Structure 1
Amino acid sequence: MATDYLWFEGIPLLNNRTSTEILKSLRDEFVVRDRDVITLAYPKSGINWMIEIISLIHSKGDPHWVQSVLNCNRSPWIEITEGHKSVKNQKDPRIYSSHLPIQLFPKSFFNSKAKAIYLLRNPRDVITSGYYFFRALKCVKNPEFFEQYYEWFLQGDVPYGSWFDHIHGWMSMRGKENFLVISYEELHQDIRASIERISQFLGKKLSSDELNSVLKNVSFEVMKDNKMSNFSLVPDEIMDHSKGKLLRKGITGDWKNHFTVAQSEAFDKIYQEKMGVLPQGLFPW
């Protein structure tokens, strides 16, 4: 196992960004409130896009909040040291995020009315995006080339462990009234309908003008230029900005430019073995 992670109950996590004490307290003692809004996803599945969408729905399309407050402060990561402290001081309704697999998530959530949105993405694109992002992050082991990261991913030797296990765990919640599953691909295919669906789930009715403002400000181009959302202000001791950035292309299907035929065929076989028991209608790829 790599020493470049903090390992907690078999899951590799960001080194120096959390602790076993925080993770234990989070799972066993953290109180999820009924009005909480939680964004969940495996890393590199588009969660920062979802945070922007939820932030703008919350502000009814007014972009001032997303232009003046860092996304990690608007929707703190509860497993990260700073985010864990921040969430405790938030007033209701609290908005926060997590990449944690279901078995490490606060137990109190499962008896609450808190609303959670789980974002899915084609795992092939997750691999591609993860390769470019994690080679720049200093709190994980950095891949030197794509083939290496591809192998690590299949082994679950990447931040937050196995994608397959993460999906299987959280998909046990599908169908619950307070749990919405949506895909990165759906957001791309029809962003207006997706935002309307999310707004309805959150009980937030937007006027036509408010919806149009949300749509305008969640575009890739606008987010890429927003320093509060594009990770450009992440300290150098956490991320080497010369090696990568958060918002790279913002597209679907880029994996086709990176996978060899052999890698694609091997991945398809593993995918069918591990995901065959889940309804394929869940996944639009």
Structure 2
Amino acid sequence: MSEDQELSYSDAIKKASSSITRFPLIPVKGIPLMNHIAYNFDAIWDFCPDSSDLLIATYPKAGTTWTQEIVDLLLHNGDAELCKRAPIAVRSPFLEICSPPPIPSGLELLNKMDPPRIIKTHLPFQLVPIGFWDNKCKVIYVARNAKDNLVSYFHFDQMNLTQPDPGPWEGYVHKFMRGEVPWGSWYDHVKGYWVEQEQRNILYLFYEDMKENPRREVERIMRYLDLSLSDDVISRIVELTSFEKMKENPMANYSFVPKPVFDQSISAFMRKGEVGDWKNFFTPQQSAEFDEDYKKKMKHVRIPFRAQL
């Protein structure tokens, strides 16, 4: 991608920022999505990937950008400068995202790229275009424990001025539990990919495992991608994708998105990246209520989440 193309993406966001608002949610097959996505969903559903394309799927705020950066570095042999060729949103387009013109949609960006492409989505399994499964694309899914995911999403919804206002913390906890947030229920999302992982050859990763032993998980991703990189390159990728390094990387930290869209004075896009931060927000009563609800919703699956390390 040329420098002009890189600049044009940031410029397009700036030009459109005056028309940015907190867009309402509209259900698509029962999943609440922002109205621009809902209106364009037929085109998203019809997207047909190449068999060489890679899909990175997550519930929002579960380690998406982290995984995108790891994959890009793996595919480019740990070349840090090459992986700063464009913002992460251009290097790894967001499949379903649609915004006011002139911001290019995810589909528009993808249509300008040659395969193999790294594609990001937050869509639950049932809304992923069937072409990904028909063409046997590789899919990496990253899941994060519910409480930390909720806390991170709450802060993101405060600073992301395109998503519905999260309101106060006390109410947001219940919105999350009911799935009344963009992309719907966390519970259904993580379960949907979990039960399909073997049949669909999905690499199912856990955010907590990535924090506990990032090298081990980077190597798992490398093997899944049928790559073989030297130990030195792996070490470099682990370092470059540490929270501290990515927070400083303007091509990964979303500083290229202007304040009227992402107001990082409210909360940084890359805020803490910790496991167990939920303890700083949940009251004992909220935690107990959440745990009881969690048991009911997750009783039919055994997904080994960890809410602390």
Calculate the TM-score normalised by the size of structure 1.
Answer: 0.93
* Aligned 8 A contact 1:136 1:142 in 2: no
Q: In the alignment, which residue of structure 2 is the partner of 1:25?
A: 43
1:127 corresponds, among 150, 153, 174, to 150
2:208 corresponds, among 172, 181, 185, to 185
Q: CA deviation at 1:237?
A: 3.4
**CA distance change for structure 1 residues 178 and 89 in 2, over 3 Å: closer, same or farther?**
farther
Q: What secondary structure sits across from 2:27 in the alignment?
A: strand
CA–CA distance in structure 1, aligned partners of residues 115 and 264 of structure 2: 35
* Aligned 8 A contact 1:102 1:166 in 2: yes
More moved, 204-213 vs 35-44 = 204-213
Q: Deviations over 1:211-265 (max 9, x none)?
A: 1111110011110001111111113332222212210011100001110111111
- Kindly tell me the number of residue pairs found equivalent between the two proteins: 280
* Aligned 8 A contact 1:99 1:160 in 2: yes
1:231 aligns with 2:231: no
Q: CA deviation at 1:191?
A: 0.5
2:296 corresponds, among 248, 269, 273, to 273
More moved, 43-52 vs 235-244 = 235-244
**CA distance change for structure 1 residues 177 and 210 in 2, over 3 Å: closer, same or farther?**
farther
**Aligned residue identity for 2:48:** V
1:91 aligns with 2:109: no
Q: CA deviation at 1:113?
A: 2.0
**CA distance change for structure 1 residues 205 and 176 in 2, over 3 Å: closer, same or farther?**
farther
Q: In the alignment, which residue of structure 2 is the partner of 1:254?
A: 277
1:215 aligns with 2:238: yes
Q: In the alignment, which residue of structure 2 is the partner of 1:13?
A: 33
Amino-acid identity (%): 35
CA–CA distance in structure 2, aligned partners of residues 235 and 173 of structure 1: 38
Q: In the alignment, which residue of structure 2 is the partner of 1:156?
A: 179
Q: In the alignment, which residue of structure 1 is the partner of 2:58?
A: 41
Which structure 1 segments of 5+ residues have no match?
Answer: none
Q: CA deviation at 1:139?
A: 1.5
**Aligned residue identity for 1:26:** I
* Aligned 8 A contact 1:186 1:194 in 2: yes
1:139 aligns with 2:157: no
CA–CA distance in structure 2, aligned partners of residues 19 and 141 of structure 1: 15
CA–CA distance in structure 1, aligned partners of residues 296 and 240 of structure 2: 40
CA–CA distance in structure 2, aligned partners of residues 104 and 44 of structure 1: 19
2:130 corresponds, among 96, 103, 107, to 107
Q: CA deviation at 1:89?
A: 2.0
* Aligned 8 A contact 1:220 1:250 in 2: yes
